[in-house]
Structures are given as C-alpha cells and as structure tokens.
Structure 1
Amino acid sequence: MSTNTVSTTVPEWSQRERALAAAKLMLGWVALLWAIEAVDYATGHALDQYGLRPRDTDHLIGIAACPFLHFGFGHVASNSIPLLVFGFIAALSGIRRFLAVSVLIMLADGVGSWLVAPPNTLGAGASGLVYGLFGYVVVRGFVERKPLNAVVGVVIAAWWGGSMFFGILPTDSGIAWYAHLIGLAAGVAAALWYRRPAPRPS
C-alpha cells in the first residue's frame, strides 16, 4: 500500500477575492436590514416590540434584535451607507475576524444600552454597530502599525469624524447617544483585542 501526503495548507485569498467577499457580505447585510424593515412596515410595525427595553428581563431578546430593527425606512437609510463603508473596510482583513468584531460590538452595545438607557424607552437601530466599526477601522491601523490601514483610518476620521462626534453628545433629540458612545468604545476595544502585529522583515 502506498500513501500520498495531503497538503493541509489553506490557500490565501487574493485582494480581489477579499474585496469581492467583503462587498457581498455587506450588501447582503444591508439588504437584510431593508427586508426586515419592509416586513415590519407590512405588518403594521409589529417587529418594533422586539426592540431593546432597558432593564426588562422579560425582553432580553432586544439586546440581540436591536441592531437589526429600525423605526422606519428613513432610519434604515441613515445607517445603510456608513454601515456599508465601515463594514466593507473592516471585512477586508478577513470575514471571520470581521464577524467576531461585529458580534463583540453588538453584544457590548446591547448590554450596555440595556443597562443605561432611560426607562420606558424602546431602542432599535444599527447605529451602535456603525459607531463601533468606525472606531475599529480608525484605530486598527495604528495599533497594528500597518501604514495603509493607518492612512485609511485617518481618511475615515477626517471625512466622518465631525458628524460622528455630534452623535455621542447627550441631547434631547431622541437619538440614543449612549448607544453610539458604547458602540464606539467597543469598536476601539475590538481593534486593540484583535490587533495583528505587522510582520517583521526577515
């Protein structure tokens, strides 16, 4: 009997393949949010009841459901473009890593908002994840010491930073600024936790 050695090496994706996978993932994610809101609209906003209810132990499902629910199509639209942009950039480093970062951000944001949100409120929206991914892509390049990612982080901060800053200020406008702040902090923490050091020259 003869045997052959089977290679267990997983082939590396090309940059084009990574970009295509990241684009498909984020387009699918945003399409899912619009589909959920369409169902919500068609059912007379029946899905809104599954939003986040602070400190209500009978509705813990809101912690997980909140990032996928929105209060109308305008709400979805306001989150769609930044989610596409930040998510696509973050996913370029790897889909599994991106999904782990996103779960960490959504969980931290959901639990944190459940603890600190004003009583008798109902929370919904992907903005906590948007802020988390913003913090992640801005900080990631610096902690990993990768020049390209650092440049991308600077560009993102310069382009979006002003509008994002106002979203973490406590206001009476009905915007969940605390969710934005928690999401941002979770994204920065994720960049530190999942950092990959730049390879040293041999």
Structure 2
Amino acid sequence: GTWNLPMGPGLPWWGVVSAPFSHSGFGHLLSNSVIFLVLSWLVLTRGVRDYVSVWVAVLLVNVPITLLWPARSHGLSGVIYGLLGYLLVIGWLEKKILPIVLSLVAFWLYGSALMALIPGVSPAGVSWVGHAGGFAAGLLAAWAQKKENPDAV
C-alpha cells in the first residue's frame, strides 16, 4: 500500500502499464490474484494470442481513461474484467460448443461481478470506470480475435 504505481491525471504515462501490478495492500493483491489466475487460465485454453490480445486491448483502452478521467486508479481489476468480458462474449461470437461452454463457465464463476460495472454500485474508492474500461477491452479483444480467426474452434 505504500509503494503504489497508479495511473491517472498528472502521473507518468507508464502508469497505464504499472497500475495492474499496484495494489493497496495484501488483501487487495490476494483477491485479485486468485481471480486473475482462474480467468487467465480459461483464456489461455484458447491460446496465447487470445491472452495477449486481451492485455493489449486493456492497455489501449486505459490510455484515454488515464488521460481524461479525473481520479487515479490501480490494481488488476481492469485486466480481470477484460479477461471476463472476453470469455463471456467469445462463445456468442463463435457459436461453437467449446467457446460457449467456456463462456457459461466464466459467467457461472464470475457473473455476479458484472454489477461492479454500474456506476454507484462499486464501493467508494473503487474505480468502476477501470472495471468498465477493462470489460469493454475484453469485448474488443474477442471481436478482434474472431475477425482474425473466423474458423476458430
């Protein structure tokens, strides 16, 4: 909690890259890490390219948030929501059984987390815009992967 690397207005541009690795304390780090590992594993079952595309999309979407949003933020939540968004939509886009099962598993495990995308639902001090930006990035990554590989299994 004393060595944070957030992103936000008036901070260095590299905060977009460092913010996912910055946490307010051990509890924050632990809760994000467990979810991150599960969702990362689920996306990696699709391939490294899909996984990297989610990370790139999250970083790109967070640049304008960093420049325009008045509050600072940090933590892995944006990436977590990116991974979740990717998993939830890839089955619908591909309309194949394995991606649909992957989408359903992700929804079953973490669907309740979607409430944090609504402004005012997240507790004070939690960046709902970081969650929403990450989720949108995950949707974009899934769409990009589907366009790039239309015959994916």
Shorter chain as denominator, the TM-score bin is 0.7 to 0.9
Counterpart selection for 1:154 from 104, 110, 113: 104
Shift of 1:90: 0.6
- AA matched with 2:46: S
CA contact (8 A) 1:132 1:188 kept: yes
Using CA pairs below 8 Å that are at least 6 residues apart, which structure has the higher relative contact order? 2
Q: For structure 2, which runs of at least 5 residues remain unmatched after alignment?
A: none
CA contact (8 A) 1:106 1:128 kept: no
Shift of 1:173: 1.4
Shift of 1:132: 0.5
1:173 aligned residue: 124
Shift of 1:112: 3.4
Change (3 A) 1:53 1:98: same
Q: Deviations over 1:124-144 (max 9, x none)?
A: 101000001001011112212
Q: Distance in 2 between matches of 1:186 and 1:101?
A: 7
Does residue 53 (structure 1) correspond to residue 8 (structure 2)? The answer is: yes
Q: Distance in 1 between matches of 2:51 and 2:107?
A: 19
1:194 aligned residue: 145
Q: For structure 1, which runs of at least 5 residues remain unmatched after alignment?
A: 1-40
How large is the RMSD of aligned CA atoms in angstroms? 2.0
Q: How does 1:1-202 map to 2 (within 5 A)?
A: 45=2, 47-48=3-4, 50-54=5-9, 56=10, 59-108=12-61, 110-118=62-70, 121-162=71-112, 164-171=113-120, 173-195=124-146, 196-198=149-151
The structure whose Rg is larger is: 1
1:35 aligned residue: none
Change (3 A) 1:106 1:157: same
- AA matched with 1:170: P
- AA matched with 2:66: W
TM-score when normalising by structure 2: 0.86
CA contact (8 A) 1:168 1:178 kept: yes
Shift of 1:53: 2.2
Change (3 A) 1:112 1:180: farther
Runs of 4+ residues deviating >6 angstroms: none
* Corresponding pairs, count: 149
